Amino acid sequence: MSAFHFDGLVWHWPIAIYLFLAGLSAGAVFFGILLKHFKLGKKAYQSRFIQAAALIAPVTVCAGLGILVLDLTKPLDFWKILVFYNSTSVMSMGVLVLMVYQLMLFAWIGAIFCTPIVQWCEGRWGLVTRGLIKLQQWEDVITGVLLILSLSLGAYTGFLLSALIGFPLLNNPVLPVLFLVSGLTSGAAATLLVGVLLKGNPNGIEVRFIHGIEIPMILIEMAILFTFFAGLILSGGQSQVAAFNALGEGFWGWIFWGGVVGLGLTLPLAFNLWMKVSADRKFAYVAVTASFSLVGVLLLRNFILYTGQMTGT
């Protein structure tokens, strides 16, 4: 049995990348909203980190959906998912969430960047200006709905897999919470990384704010991962077999302990704590910490997807 090809494997790495990108988009939006609401206020559009979030969120969610469509056996028939709905299907409900999410996302971006865009238009395209000002008036409502949708999207990536009753590692009530929290982490990391790449101040209030949330979030993620596998092992039977297959020696065991726990959680936690006590944050610190977090979450998605399908009931 090789790590990437085995009996019973249905969903391959493109699905893991899609789950990663969807969670990342949700996380970037979540932190963008928090940053604007708690720290930046009206002048948020000037912040490199808000610009980063507004750039990352639509690009990743569209890229993720693109991958998902290409992974269908009949990619040209993808519109049927948008026409036919099934209320018992997690995927179908996820599509609904994704559609409204994208709509609200663009509305939100329009609302927060209203001032610079209207300035740039200089009175041209009156329709655009009027539309944006209308959006800005509704910003509070859009923000509230988008916040709920981003959390739903983050959790959906987990529910999609936990609905598979034949695989005990996936059919696990903790999985959606794990994917939600790790998705938010990846969104924060991507916002920081792109923000400093856009010449944002690595010692600014945005970075301090996000890092302040990141430390408890990494601790929570560790606790959820522990609960996830402890729960499987205590369940006995095939659940226990699945947990030991995943965590034991072999390719995916190394990925988990080295990649997910070591690179993705422990090192970013250590760096974050170090940056908290040291006087100031430098570009390299912020960028490296964020990159480690991102790689860790991407590995987690692949690890769960592949090891989940290794052991059936």
Partner 1 sequence: MDISKRHFLTGCGTLIAGISIYSVAKELAGSEAGASVDQTQTIKYAMVHDENLCIGCNACEQACRDVNNVPDGVSRVVINRTGPFGEYPDQSYRFSRKSCQHCEDAPCVKVCPTGAAYIDPDTGIVGVNQDKCVGCQYCIAACPYQVRFINPVTQTADKCDFCRETQLKQGKQPACVEACPTHALVFGNIRDPESELVKTLKSKPTYRAKTDLGTRPKLFHVPTIDGEIVL
* Nearest distance, CB of residue 95 and partner 1, angstroms: 6
Nearer to partner 1, 94 or 296 (CB): 94
* Nearest distance, CB of residue 199 and partner 1, angstroms: 32
When asked if residue 134 is in the footprint of partner 1 (CB under 8 A), the reply is no
Q: Which of 13, 34, 89, 213 is the binder for partner 1 (CB under 8 A)?
A: 89
Residue span 265-294 as binding mask against partner 1, x where in contact by CB under 8 A, dash where not: ------------------------------
Footprint on residues 155-194 left by partner 1 (CB under 8 A): 163-167
Nearer to partner 1, 58 or 312 (CB): 312
Alpha carbon distances (Å) from 80 to 51, 61, 63, 92, 141: 34, 19, 19, 11, 31
How many helical (H) and strand (E) elements, i.e. helices and strands, does the chain have? 13, 0
The set of residues, in sequence order, having a beta carbon less than 8 Å from that of 228 and lying 6+ positions away, is 172, 174, 175, 178
Distance from C-alpha of 15 to C-alpha of 67, rounded to nearest angstrom = 8
Distance from C-alpha of 171 to C-alpha of 65, rounded to nearest angstrom = 23
The set of residues, in sequence order, having a beta carbon less than 8 Å from that of 302 and lying 6+ positions away, is 13, 16, 255
First to last CA, the chain: 18
Residue 82, helix vs strand vs coil:
helix
When asked if residue 258 is in the footprint of partner 1 (CB under 8 A), the reply is no
Distance from C-alpha of 183 to C-alpha of 28, rounded to nearest angstrom = 9
Token pair of 119 as six digits: 């300035």
When asked if residue 148 is in the footprint of partner 1 (CB under 8 A), the reply is yes
Footprint on residues 66-85 left by partner 1 (CB under 8 A): 72-74, 77-78, 80-81, 83-85
Q: What is the separation of C-alpha 219 from the centre of its chain, rounded to a whole number of angstroms?
A: 17
Q: Which of 99, 141, 219, 284 is the binder for partner 1 (CB under 8 A)?
A: 141
* Nearest distance, CB of residue 47 and partner 1, angstroms: 21
Nearer to partner 1, 26 or 192 (CB): 26
When asked if residue 13 is in the footprint of partner 1 (CB under 8 A), the reply is no
Nearer to partner 1, 12 or 267 (CB): 12
When asked if residue 88 is in the footprint of partner 1 (CB under 8 A), the reply is yes
Q: Which residues bind partner 1 (CB under 8 A)?
A: 8, 10-11, 72-74, 77-78, 80-81, 83-92, 95, 140-141, 143-145, 147-148, 163-167, 309, 312-313
